Each structure stands twice: as C-alpha cells, then as structure tokens.
Amino acid sequence: MNLGLIVEGSKDVATYHHWIRKIRSDISTLQTRQCTRKVKTKFIGFLKEFALNPAWQVQKAIVIADSDCNRPDTIEDSLTNRLEGSMPHFPVHIIAIRCKLETWLLADQNAINEVAQRRGKPHQLGRIEGSLEAKDADRRFRLALTTVGLPADDTVYSQVAELSNIDVIRQRCPQFRQFEQIVRAC
C-alpha cells in the first residue's frame, strides 16, 4: 500500500515512518511531507498534491500534529473541519499526539542506550520514571540524549525510533495505542 504522511517537522519525518512500518509491514511507499509546524494551514495542499500526482498512487493518508498537551480531540476536530469539502479520493486519518513526539521516544530507554552504544558513548540511561505525556517531553528527551552524549538531531531521533520497541511505548504511553489503531485502519 502507498501511504501519504503529513507531519509537523523534520524530526517527525525522521521518526514516524519507523513506527508506521513496525505497525504495518505492508506499506510499500511512504510519501512524507513536512508542514514546518503549520499543519493547520498546509495539510490540505499536501493532500491535494498526493491526489494530483498519479505516479505516487497514494491510497490513504495520515495527518499527525502535536497537541502540546492541549486537548487532542479539539485539534483533530479543527483539522477534520478544515478537511470538509476538500476530501481527496482516498481516506484521510487525522491524529493529534497527546503532547509531543518526544513523549514516545522517551518510553524506551533501551533504544536510546543502544544508539549511544553504537556510537561508542560510555554512558547509559536508566528508566525514565513518571508520566511521559507531559509538556516538557521535548526538554526531557534532549536531557536524556545529553546524559548519554548524543546530539538532539534528526539522525538520532530516527535511530531511536528505529530501535524502539513499540510494545514498550504502548505500555508506557497509552495514547500510542490510538496511533496504532489509526495506522492499522489505513
């Protein structure tokens, strides 16, 4: 299946495709577009781009936005309302992540440690305690990376997502289940 993916930033581009492919092994092509934090104003244009280019043969699309710990349903409703009247010929699924992408990256410290180890970093991170679905998830993730000597760049985000165990993420971050359901529904 060919899937269109619309996300906020470059770190989202580097990360989400790993989780989507872990959830759905039948995704053959993943066309990804970055909205540079302007999902509300840009996502319809990208959906039209997917629909108008027959070479991509996008069959379904997912639009992902961070809620920054605001009510995800409010953001999802707003995006869905903007979509009305502009529906492409394929199904579109919209999800607002409860807080931020980094929430899910924090869930599996073993993935962070593995990236550090592969890069020859001697430090190891212990389990990150407490609720991960918090406004400061991005700060906490950057601090975790600093602790093990890793930069907070797109490559590290991608590697952590690639090595992460989605069972661990699902267990530690209940909203990840909703993401999985949307990916499976595509």
Report yes or no: 98 and 133 within 8 Å, Cβ to Cβ: yes
Between the CA of residue 48 and those of 6, 88, 128, 161, what are the distances in Å? 12, 7, 41, 29
Tokens of 135: 């406004």
pLDDT in tens, 103-143: 999 999 999 999 999 999 999 998 888 888 888 889 999 99
The residue extents of the domains of the chain are 2-100+174-185, 102-170
CATH topology for 2-100+174-185? Rossmann fold (3.40.50)
Whether residue 100 has pLDDT greater than 90: no
Q: At what angle do helices 109-118 and 137-147 cross, to 10 degrees?
A: 40
pLDDT in tens, 12-45: 999 999 999 999 999 988 999 999 868 888 999 9
pTM as predicted: 0.91
